[in-house]
Structure 1
Amino acid sequence: MNTHSPIEQMIAMLEHSHVFMYMIIDQKGHYRYINQKMSTITGWDRSMIGSRRYEEQIHYADVDFLRQQVHQALQHPGEKFSVIARYLIDEHQHTIQWEVCSSKDEEGEEQIQAMGVLLSGDPLDDFSASRYLHQFNEYLDGVSDGFFALDRNWIFLKVNRFFESVTGLSRQEMIGRSFWDFFPDTEDQPYAAAMRKAFDLEETITFEQPWPPDHHFAVSATPSKEGIICYFIDISLQKKQQLELLANEIKLKAILDSTTDINILISADLRVLNFNRTADLLSKEYFNAQLFIGADFNKYVPKELGHYFREHFERALAGEKLTTERPVALLNGDVIWFEFLYYPVYSEAGDMLGVAMNITNIDARKKAEMKLLQQYDRMREIAYLQSHEARAPLSNILGLINVLMLYTEKTNDPEIVQVLELLNVSASRLDTVIQKIVSNTRHE
């Protein structure tokens, strides 16, 4: 009865294989095992293999996709993922096609197993080469990204199915013919300059290529000894979202620029992140200062407002929304009242971006309010004079009337009696009015 684990059985079966390479990688990306075939190809000492990471000596153009497939394998245990990687060892290049999957080790930890075959670098028999080339072509046709390869004379060597669907051309039409037969070598097309630059500099060039009416591609052109390989992915949706975002940004800026209020966005470290047209114009007019992105906002705060600004800014950073009114002395000696609104600004992810300040000129309103207060104070003063200054002589008049009323009993003249009674009634009414004025003044 076989008591070996599946991993041990795989190691036993592939340890001395002449065709297949086999490796095991731990969760941290270090080799745990390579078989003799891989050790022969790479020249690595198997006793020292634990110190190596699986991305070492991989061609830089293949590293990201290799990492992606390893990550996918860890996320989907039991599923198999294919990847082709070029190993650069002692100035030689070995191209290996791997099939990777994840499993658990004896301690229950996830690990990566990979079985591979050599596509180039060592001689292969014709049958194996043909079989692996067929698998490679099937792989290229199965991916949802575009691919084509040219020789150093710009002749098509290989294209995949996605490239056929985008161009509307079949591979039979393209293979063996020049790239420029189908795609014009003009300055207005990004691919022309980018691909020639990749050839000239012998380095990978990435660029964007619009493809009306439905596509927009991100392209990577990588030179090799044989020619140039181009991979491209469709980023039409991302470009559409970018354009929509840009359109919304332009609309928002137009709205902010059309207002008479000053609007400034300031980072937590007091750097200017954005500002509207009014802020730019008034900073020049009022303070003879030029606003610019990245400027230290402390330099634009008048000294007499420094304490108030820092207090309100810190509170806004803590999440408060605050409003305050302050007079500001300008360079020309004028004093203008402004309303300052501070409020925190967050990203869609909820991260603090900074504090937005909305500053409104309220000078006309404040001066109207102060004028009203002055008029009110004047009216109170008039009321005081009317009540207190008139009260003393009225008291004298009331006293005299009371004395004269004593003589009505000693006279028989009805006209005198009537005059005294009328004087008494009028004085009493005036006294009532003055008392109301005094009472209202006290309440206010």
Structure 2
Amino acid sequence: MQKFKIDKYLPSFLKNSHTYAVVVTDLEGFYTYVNPYFAEKFSFITNYFIGLHSFLTIYPKDHEACTQAVRQCFTCPNDIIKVSLRKPENVLSEFYWTSWEFSLMKDENQDILGVLCVGHDITETELASKRALEFSQKVETILDKMSDGFIQLDQELKLLKINKVARDIFYPNHTKIIGNDILDTINKNLSIRYSAYFQEALDTHVSISFEDFHEQTNHWLNLVVHPSSEGLSIFIRDISQEKKSQIELSKSEYKLKAILDSTTDSNILINPEMKIISFNKPALKDFSSYYKGELKEEIDVREVLASQNKKFFDVYFPLALKGEKHTIEIEKEIDGQKQWFEVSYLPVYNSTAQLIGVSKNTRNITNRKLEEIKIVKQNEAFRSIAWQQSHELRRPVVNLLSLCDLLIKDRDEKEEVKDFYLDSILKSTQELDEIIKAIILLASENEFMNNQENRSNLS
């Protein structure tokens, strides 16, 4: 068939298109016409397509799809048949996606001239669809591997997506639930409780978090509802263990509080989130001298710690959360007097050995520290006395003993010599007297200091 005869029946916008590939094949699939766009696109295959079979430019696995489309053209001669075909790109081993419309091309006498094929590149669309499908599958996998439950609803509260955890909680025996209203498919009691929260999130466009006891599984759940333009995203977390710990802690608090209130030590129990769970009476009493602000339960303990105490807290609280025990001493000046405190950070566990918080104990050890200082001073005085006794006292005593021994042995000595001995004995005796007075003075001063400290403590 002559090319000019085909040209006669093709509109110019198709013949000269830079977007659409236009070809005509005979009834056996051989090219009788290709427009310039198609010829240029596949010029790496050949420079002349007329008379060549159309399979030359079709990916082998799509030959059957092409053949079926041609058959449908003859089965439905007035219809346009759509088909997607992969075409080679640059080299025959690579391909890209194209979308084609096949129809019978007829002349003015309704005689069939061939099969008219108009196609365009849909590679980006196909790749985008493929990537979207792969991403969707990854999301599905991630959702099913989540330890938390997840439910996606549209604006009408119909189920769009649900992961395995949420399905096991709300739909253990259901299979076909996607597309149904969640309030119609879950337990009636749950539907009544949840509907108000769902509607509030949709109306206010504000995320809502609430807790609920699920009777069917005997578990406590925390539900966080996030609204969006598409609907609601709901995350479900099992908080049964946390609730159990809270109940156990609440029961033990009454017992502990009676014990702690009877001690003089200040005690504050802090949860892992640094919130104050409880405190005893001494802590409240000593608060003004050791903390700042108002001591209350459920507040962040860092809000009330003084800057000096906060530095130690930032170091030792995390260590206690790891199971370590630490005790430190802090010196403070209160009302012009030095005070010492022993502060302990101790991990607290429940009956199942689960860490539930940290106990911060504060004990006033001022009296103990003063006693330690007094003992140190006494020891220093005793060491000084011992040194004088062992060194300074020894010298005049040795002199006296030596002189007395000389007097006994040398009785026939001249008077001048004896006078010398007696004068030396007198000097050694005076030296010994001075040393003894110094020792007595040192001991008296130490005793005076002890008496002063005792009076100060009594007052």
Larger Rg: 2
Tell me the TM-score normalized by structure 1: 0.38
